[in-house]
Structure 1
Amino acid sequence: MQAARPTSPTPLPPPPKWRQLLDAVLYSSVWLSVAALGLMWATFLFWGVHISGRLGGLIFAATLFLYNLDSVLPYKHGQLPGATRRKQWIRAHRPQLLALALVAGTAAGILYLTDARLLPLTLFGGHLALISVLYSMPLWRRRGRWWALRDLPLLKVFLIAYVWAAVTVWIPALYLGRDWASPVVLVLFAHRFLLILALALVFDIRDYSKDRLTGTRTFPGVLGIRTTKWLGLAALLGAALLVPSGVSVAHAVALVAPLGLAAAVIWYAEESRPDYYFALLTDGVMVAQFVAVWLAVG
């Protein structure tokens, strides 16, 4: 009697169109770039000024370039494999992400070179670009793997918070001719720094197992996930206390209210959460910050 031949598994049907579109927006960093644009725009609205279209396009394109460049770095695809939907999507779309990064980088360069108000900020913006590029770029090889700035113990959340706060607060201040070291600017910078720091800890929780296996020391790996959540809540409390003087009550509420959403996201963050929890909801806190400020001053 002949043994039955094994049947090949039935291929899974493709996800619905809306989900394919949502995956593309989230995992290609378009949503994150919208969040960066929104935070910078919120800073302009703080001074009652609408953001320059050229500068807004620059921050959107530069964010799209840097994060997609990070996604397609060859050495990262030689690290431990990941089974999450996000990682599978990125692996399947590496050529498209590389093309998107090149287009976004070209657009960012053109927008920068054609804005006379940005050229004097070259030195300041240059150090932020350098940190951003070196953040994930392989710099040295140790214990059989490449290491970047993000792999230095406990450093990556501070690098993320510093660059995002500097780009979305200090660059608008300098663009408008304001003193970056004035008290009102420094308070707004500290508020933004603590917000981004708290949200960055959520992504450390997401990467808890991967970071432990690759030897990257992060706050969840050193302090534990629960203590890291309390650290994130403490950062949000500090942000809530750092509201620049002289703002209207509505604007102060707009700066503080989204911190409640951020606190909920931090408290319920778990490594096992679906990718949408991090890519859509956590990054969405920054979009909520812009919407709140826009409604308050509109």
Structure 2
Amino acid sequence: MARCLPFGTMREFSDQPPLATSFLPPVFRRGLDAVLYSSLLVAAAATGLTWATFLFWQDQIPVRLGALVFTATLFLYNIDSVLPYKHRQQAVLSARKRWMLRHRRALLLLALSSLAGALGLFWADGWQPLTLFLAHLTAISLLYSTPVVRRHGRWWALRDLPLLKIFLIAYVWSAVTVWVPALHLGKALREPAVGVLFARRFFFILNLALIFDIRDFTKDRLSGTRTFPGLFGLRATKWLGLAFLVVSALLLPPGVSAPHVLVLTVPTLLAGVIIWFAEETRPDYYFALLADGLMLVQFLVAYWVA
């Protein structure tokens, strides 16, 4: 377990590329960094999970809806990474953080262009009747790490509330990737199939969120954010993540055949391996490529069995 650093210090990680990618030419590593650290992979994962929900209901995702999910995710993640207050934080200066600092202007332009695209798609596809529903997800996403309340001499964001981080993340991701497709297809959110699929996705994302809590262990300790690793330790956090995966695996949507169940366990097993071997000292690629990539594995599995 990494030792918590004193306030006012900054810990740096090596600029050397991870061993797994050290054989790649520099131009390819730079391209991989751009895909991972500009949240292009995350946006693709959100689109893939949304598509997987459509496949479960034996339908195809509308191209413009997929583009809306992609651009909205790209905006929210990149606008968060360029907020001024984040660059004044006393935190761990990882390779990912340094890349974002160097490309802050480009990330801002990407965020603004993604916002323009998302608003255009929102208007063109007639999502206006769901403005309040989508607005509350957007509000949670924006307030997740934006300090809005000053208490006891410090500014608080939603993520600073003890142990709330992972549940906010899981709720927004599940709502976007399950409820949005359900609403598009005219399904009631209270339908049993919708509820089971939402809960299955919710507990799967909870495990992924814990993986990133492990990555951010020192940073969260320095900023005073109380997370599961900080309060209960890394080993207990890993067991909790495995428990979330077990619950997710047991929540089987109606009508799923036995062969499909076996195939659908692949992402769950991979998620269990990744959280068990997660350590704060792992390279950024371990989290940005493997953990985020698990969501694309979910889509590929759903596409294969559809």
Q: Is 2:46 aligned against 1:36?
A: yes
Distance, in Å, in 2 between the alignment partners of 1:287 and 1:263 is 16
CA contact (8 A) 2:51 2:60 kept: yes
Q: Find the counterpart in structure 2 of residue 168 from structure 1.
A: 177
Q: Find the counterpart in structure 2 of residue 262 from structure 1.
A: 271
Q: Is 2:275 aligned against 1:272?
A: no
Distance, in Å, in 1 between the alignment partners of 2:98 and 2:73 is 22
The answer to which structure, 1 or 2, has the higher relative contact order (CA under 8 A, 6+ apart) is: 2
CA contact (8 A) 2:92 2:218 kept: no
Q: Extract unaligned runs of 5+ from structure 2.
A: 1-14, 18-24
Q: Is 2:77 aligned against 1:67?
A: yes
Q: Which amino acid aligns with 2:234?
A: I
Bigger Rg over Cα: 1
Q: Find the counterpart in structure 2 of residue 155 from structure 1.
A: 164
Say which of 53, 59, 69 aligns to 1:49.
59
Residue 146 of structure 1 aligns to a residue whose secondary structure is: strand
Shift of 1:144: 5.1
Distance, in Å, in 2 between the alignment partners of 1:199 and 1:81 is 22
RMSD: 1.5
Say which of 225, 231, 241 aligns to 1:222.
231
1:170-208 deviation per Cα after TM superposition (whole angstroms, max 9, x unaligned): 110011000111111100000000000000000001111
Closer/same/farther in 2, CA of residues 13 and 209 from structure 1, 3 Å limit: closer
Shift of 1:90: 0.3
Distance, in Å, in 2 between the alignment partners of 1:293 and 1:221 is 35
Q: Which amino acid aligns with 2:170?
A: A
Q: Is 2:289 aligned against 1:289?
A: no
Residue 144 of structure 2 aligns to a residue whose secondary structure is: helix
How many equivalent residue pairs? 285
Q: Find the counterpart in structure 1 of residue 131 from structure 2.
A: 122
CA contact (8 A) 1:82 1:88 kept: no
Q: Is 2:216 aligned against 1:207?
A: yes
Distance, in Å, in 2 between the alignment partners of 1:29 and 1:239 is 25
CA contact (8 A) 1:35 1:284 kept: yes
Q: Which amino acid aligns with 2:245?
A: L
Shift of 1:138: 1.4
Distance, in Å, in 1 between the alignment partners of 2:198 and 2:184 is 15
Q: Extract unaligned runs of 5+ from structure 1.
A: 1-11
Shift of 1:142: 4.1
Question: Percent identical across equivalent pairs?
Answer: 61
TM-score by length of 1: 0.92
